[in-house]
């Protein structure tokens, strides 16, 4: 659990969030299958 406080993890979370928003995703969890099919709960 200590890793969650590291800058590398924070940066990866920001990158993943930005990527999701660019693809039109919202909410969590959101899953992309075959690069284009978006599923979310």
Domain-wise residue ranges, the chain: 2-40
Round to whole Å and give the CA distance between 22 and 26: 10
Specify the pTM.
0.69
Round to whole Å and give the CA distance between 37 and 15: 20
For residue 28, what are the contacts with CB-CB under 8 A and spacing of at least 6?
40
Round to whole Å and give the CA distance between 40 and 2: 29
Round to whole Å and give the CA distance between 28 and 38: 12
Query: Does the pLDDT value for residue 25 go beyond 80?
Result: yes
pLDDT of residue 7: 97
pLDDT-above-90 percentage for the chain: 39
pLDDT digits (tens, 9 = 90+) for 11-23: 999 999 999 899 8
């Amino acid at each position: 659990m200590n890793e969650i406080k590291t800058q590398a993890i924070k940066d990866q979370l920001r990158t993943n969030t930005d990527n999701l928003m660019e693809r039109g995703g919202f909410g969590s969890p959101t899953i992309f299958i075959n690069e284009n099919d978006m599923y979310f709960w």
